[in-house]
Structure 1
Amino acid sequence: MAKARKKADLPGKPCATCGRPFAWRRKWAKVWDEVRYCSDRCRRERSMSAKGATAPKKA
């Protein structure tokens, strides 16, 4: 059985929307070079701002 790696030892990169650093995940192993956003929320917000629309505001 392989040794577990610490999260600090994994590669990371900054999110294209919020700029926060995020770490590599196993499910991203094959597409790591294509991953740009830390979460679905950042991905949605980026696509909304690119279209010129604003996110709906909660009352």
Structure 2
Amino acid sequence: MAKQRSKSDLPTKICPVCERPFAWRKKWADCWDDVKYCSERCRRRRTQASS
């Protein structure tokens, strides 16, 4: 069985909408470079943040 990583070892990014850090998730394994927002809510609110 594979050794689990601690959450502090995972890569993180800063969400441009809420400006909070968010960590890598397994569902983002194939598209981590394309992920910009921490949640669907922030993705929908992206236009309000840029104004």
The TM-score bracket by the shorter chain reads 0.7 to 0.9
Q: Kindly, what percent of the aligned residue pairs are identical? A: 64
Could you tell me which runs of 5 or more consecutive residues in structure 1 were left unpaired when the two chains were aligned.
Answer: 53-59
Number of residue pairs aligned between Structure 1 and Structure 2: 50
Q: Return the structure number with greater relative CO, CA threshold 8 A, min gap 6.
A: 2
Q: Return structure 1 stretches of 4+ with deviation > 4 angstroms.
A: none
Question: Which has the greater radius of gyration?
Answer: 1
**TM-score of the superposed pair, with normalisation by structure 2:** 0.87
Residue deviations 1:21-49 (CA, integer Å, cap 9, x gap): 000001001100000000111111114x2
Could you tell me which runs of 5 or more consecutive residues in structure 2 were left unpaired when the two chains were aligned.
Answer: none
